[in-house]
Structure 1
Amino acid sequence: MRVFKLGGLAALAVVAGLSLTACQSDDGGDEAAGTGKGSASSQTAGDSGSSGDSGSSGDSGATASAGASVSGASGGPSSEGDGKDGAQGADGGVAACRTDGLKVTAANTTIDGDDRATVAVTLKNAGGTSCALGGAYAGVDLKTNAGALSATRANKESIPDLPVVLKAGESTSFGVWYPFNKTGGSGVRVTGLVVTPPNETKPVTLAWPGEASLPVTEDGGGAGVEVGPLGSEGQGG
């Protein structure tokens, strides 16, 4: 059974916030390192625009460099994980991580014996300079044959929604948790994964690397899906 410690995650988020403040001081201190280390998984981002019908992935993620500062970042479109509550930096601070400057990947990381299935999503800074993810949560939506299903934030009451700074080439990962379909039926078929980085409006559509279906709820939709904060899952793979 997979367990992650929330205390460490909260501390990590606070450290990231303090690091961002240090970057904005007048003494020209060094930029803070990001939370994630390691390589991205084999599932890579394809279309960087809005959700398409296929949900398929391309050969590589977007690699455009990040531009605007954290203070200019806007909220994302997903219902709960859009990062709209993320802390904002002062002008001249670390640039905000933009979707086009991130390589977004996903992999099935479910372990035998887990009570829920897991997909790890990794965000890698593909630009040449440090950038700040504008909150602790990304937006996650599953594309299904019953319509879009938005993930809810796990443990959102205890996780401060602070920015996370990634140096060039650094990564951070988070978990997407969902129930196994043990009903014996076909369930709700998952056809794609849509990820919107924290405090961004532009999503990335990936192929779904997890279980083929979710159990059906009474209203005909899929059972609950949760998204964890940045750093809540090991690097996808």
Structure 2
Amino acid sequence: MRAHKITLAALVVAAGLSLTACQNDGDDTAATTDPSSVATTSPSAGGAGSDGSDAASPEASSGGKDTTAGAGTGEQSTSGKCRTDGLKITAIDNFIDGDPQGTVAVEMKNTSGRDCVIAGFAGVDLKTNEGTLSAERKGEPGDPYVLKNGKTIAFSVTYPLNETGGTGVRITNLVVTPPNETKSVTLPWPGKPSLPVTDGSGEPVRVGPIGSAGQGG
């Protein structure tokens, strides 16, 4: 009777071990199946995407680099720099009685038919009977400015007044080169006719940054 019980118990234990082994085999199968299926799918998808042909989805085609780059890049990205040929440049006397120095306002009107970007300093030279005199920069340049088509922006040119009573250095023309350009425009000088003759210790001719003489319409 005791031997029979031991044999029955041994059968129950064996059956339990067999059942556990089957369950473990099932877990191992699942563990090896999932990574295998992922590994098979990933190279296939990646290869089609890099191919760029049939695998590209409509969403990928319509929302690629070009579309993203064109969105939200700011107004300046669609405007090129202002060119000399697209600007109407004029100069007017802006001197006010009582000012310690003379001032000429140089206006640049955008006539290019498109908006353009302008910033920094224009090149300014005065043609005189003693040769060419280049203006020195004064002040800090502002941020790049989008000059709308048909709009005007200006900068100032300041110079010492000739109060010596003599003829001084006669000014004949004003030469303006827009920022980041090499083509110049020569204008009649609209300010006082002469500069004082000095030994180089007097006030120089100065040019302010774009926008320093106000912004016109």
TM-score normalized with structure 2 length: 0.63
In the alignment, the residues of structure 2 paired with residue 214 and residue 235 of structure 1 have an alpha-carbon distance, to the nearest angstrom, of 28
Deviation string 1:63-105 (CA, Å, 9 cap, x unpaired) is xxxxxxxxxxxxxxxxxxxxxxxxxxxxx64112110000000
Is 1:216 aligned with 2:197? yes
Within the candidate set 141, 147, 170, 1:189 is matched to 170
In the alignment, the residues of structure 2 paired with residue 130 and residue 28 of structure 1 have an alpha-carbon distance, to the nearest angstrom, of 18
Secondary structure at the counterpart of residue 100 of structure 1: helix
Structure 1 match to 2:208: 228
C-alpha contact 1:124 1:171 (8 A) present in aligned 2: yes
Is 1:125 aligned with 2:105? no
Instruction: Indicate how the Cα distance of structure 1 residues 112 and 25 shifts in structure 2: closer, same or farther if over 3 A, else same.
Output: farther
Give every structure 1 segment of 4 or more consecutive aligned residues whose post-TM-superposition deviation is greater than 6 Å.
none
RMSD: 2.4
Structure 2 match to 1:49: none
In the alignment, the residues of structure 1 paired with residue 215 and residue 96 of structure 2 have an alpha-carbon distance, to the nearest angstrom, of 14
| Structure 2 unaligned blocks of 5 or more | 1-67
In the alignment, the residues of structure 1 paired with residue 69 and residue 190 of structure 2 have an alpha-carbon distance, to the nearest angstrom, of 42
In the alignment, the residues of structure 1 paired with residue 93 and residue 214 of structure 2 have an alpha-carbon distance, to the nearest angstrom, of 11
Deviation string 1:80-137 (CA, Å, 9 cap, x unpaired) is xxxxxxxxxxxx641121100000000001011111110000011001110112x321
Compare 189-198 and 225-234 and name the one that shifted more. 225-234
The CA deviation at 1:224 is 1.2
Of the two structures, which has the highest relative contact order with CA contacts closer than 8 Å and spacing of 6 or more?
Answer: 1
In the alignment, the residues of structure 1 paired with residue 142 and residue 127 of structure 2 have an alpha-carbon distance, to the nearest angstrom, of 26
The 5-angstrom pairing of residues 19-98 of structure 1 reads 26-27=70-71, 31=75, 93-98=78-83
The CA deviation at 1:162 is 4.0
Deviation string 1:11-56 (CA, Å, 9 cap, x unpaired) is xxxxxxxxxxxxx963157736xxxxxxxxxxxxxxxxxxxxxxxx
The number of residue pairs the alignment matches comes to: 149
C-alpha contact 1:193 1:206 (8 A) present in aligned 2: yes
In the alignment, the residues of structure 2 paired with residue 199 and residue 162 of structure 1 have an alpha-carbon distance, to the nearest angstrom, of 14
The CA deviation at 1:218 is 1.6
| Structure 1 unaligned blocks of 5 or more | 1-23, 33-91
Deviation string 1:191-210 (CA, Å, 9 cap, x unpaired) is 00000000000000000000
Equivalent position amino acid for 2:158 in 1:
W
The CA deviation at 1:163 is 2.6
In the alignment, the residues of structure 1 paired with residue 202 and residue 183 of structure 2 have an alpha-carbon distance, to the nearest angstrom, of 25
In the alignment, the residues of structure 1 paired with residue 113 and residue 147 of structure 2 have an alpha-carbon distance, to the nearest angstrom, of 11
In the alignment, the residues of structure 1 paired with residue 71 and residue 204 of structure 2 have an alpha-carbon distance, to the nearest angstrom, of 47
C-alpha contact 2:142 2:210 (8 A) present in aligned 1: no
TM-score normalized with structure 1 length: 0.58
Per residue, is there more helix in 1 or in 2? 2
The 5-angstrom pairing of residues 121-160 of structure 1 reads 121-133=106-118, 135-155=119-139, 159-160=140-141
Is 1:207 aligned with 2:192? no
C-alpha contact 2:120 2:209 (8 A) present in aligned 1: yes
The CA deviation at 1:178 is 0.4
C-alpha contact 1:188 1:222 (8 A) present in aligned 2: no
C-alpha contact 1:120 1:234 (8 A) present in aligned 2: no
Equivalent position amino acid for 1:148 in 2:
T
